[in-house]
Amino acid sequence: VSDFTEDDLVAMVRKLLGGEAVGVRLGAGDDAALVEFGHYLGILTTDMLVEGVHFERSSISPRDLGHKGLTVNVSDVAAMGGSPRYGLASIGLPDDVEMPWVVELYGGMLEAAADYGMSLVGGDTNRADRVVLSMTVTGEVDPGAVVTRGGGRPGERIVVTGRLGAAAGGLLLSRVPSQQMTGPVVEHGRELLAALTRPVARVGEGQALARSGATAMIDLSDGLAKDLGRLCAQSEVGAAVRLADVPVSPGLEELRDVLGADPLDLALHGGEDYELLATLPGEAVPAAAETLWEAFATRLTEIGEIREGRGLVAVAPDGSEGPLDPKGWDHFGG
């Protein structure tokens, strides 16, 4: 039996969310939160993290889980070129969760809200069999600066922020028996695990890409191949990816044997990187890359181009082409 009532929990959440924030007329504790919506276009997004599906309670701290729960939603706002404003958290908690765990969970959400300059304004707590964290984020964007998935045109370049595959490597690493976690593995492994437990939403980068002329954009939650496929489907185009140019996360090569996985495979098909993939006219790429590097120390890599027709193509270093299979993280498929 749990050691707190729903009202205890509500009171605790309220205390945690009690700070004043710009634009918040009324935060947690009433029937709903009251916020000021600006004169911008509104963005609404929601994402659910389920214990046993998206995370194991034994391998992520509640603080990291809370932080990640908000971050994955903010990443969707970033992928539209927008700014996150308000967050809501609906949480399901099993009997064996104790209050300090819940406090840490909210601590992580508040930390993420501070990271992204937004406010957590309320939510709902419930009993459940397993931990369920369902978060909603609203954002805003100037109508002229919106970037959807649907604007990619043949001949445009495909660019991606940061490096790929680290979160998938971290997931594999978290399953490696501890006796194999020797010095060099631990050293390279730390960054991979951090990518899994503390992803970063590319909010500033998304806005900079929008200003730099991005015609379509998506955040990489389910793997490059799968998410590029979604962008292409929306834009009604095909794409070619030069495999040699895909930016693979450092450490994956060194840990190839321990992880038992090909680094390029992790970069193409591993989920949860939350980097942004965008399409840009060729002439806009150098300036966009310079802006991202100077403003955010984030690298922008050109990895291929949009083509007429449909289908994804992988271009090998020798110039030969083959289909790029959009396998990726699928919560339902085999």
- The stretch near a copy of itself (CB under 8 A) out of 21-29, 157-165, 246-254, 313-321 is 21-29
Q: Find the shortest distance in angstroms from Cβ 191 to a copy of itself.
A: 26
**Token pair recorded at residue 201:** 């939403």
Q: Find the shortest distance in angstroms from Cβ 253 to a copy of itself.
A: 30
Interface of this chain with a copy of itself, residues 213 to 232, rule: CB under 8 A: 217-219
> Which of 18, 19, 38, 184 lies at the binding interface for a copy of itself (CB under 8 A)?
38
Residue 189 φ then ψ, to 5° = -70, -30
| 139 touches a copy of itself (CB under 8 A) | yes
> Which of 26, 114, 181, 244 lies at the binding interface for a copy of itself (CB under 8 A)?
26
Name the residue type at position 14. Answer: R
- Cross-strand pairs, 223: none
CA distance 241 to 158: 8
| 44 touches a copy of itself (CB under 8 A) | yes
For residues 141 to 160, the per-residue mask of contacts with a copy of itself, x marking binding by CB under 8 A and - elsewhere, is x-x--x-xxx----------
Radius of gyration of the chain (CA): 21
Query: 154-185 as b/e, with b when 16 or more CB fall inside 10 Å?
Result: eebbbbbbbbbbbbbbbbbbbeeeeeeeeeeb
CA distance 96 to 235: 47
- The stretch near a copy of itself (CB under 8 A) out of 47-55, 235-243, 278-286, 297-305 is 47-55
User: What single DSSP character describes residue 198?
Assistant: S
How many residues are present in the chain?
334
| 20 touches a copy of itself (CB under 8 A) | no
- The stretch near a copy of itself (CB under 8 A) out of 117-125, 196-204, 282-290, 309-317 is 117-125
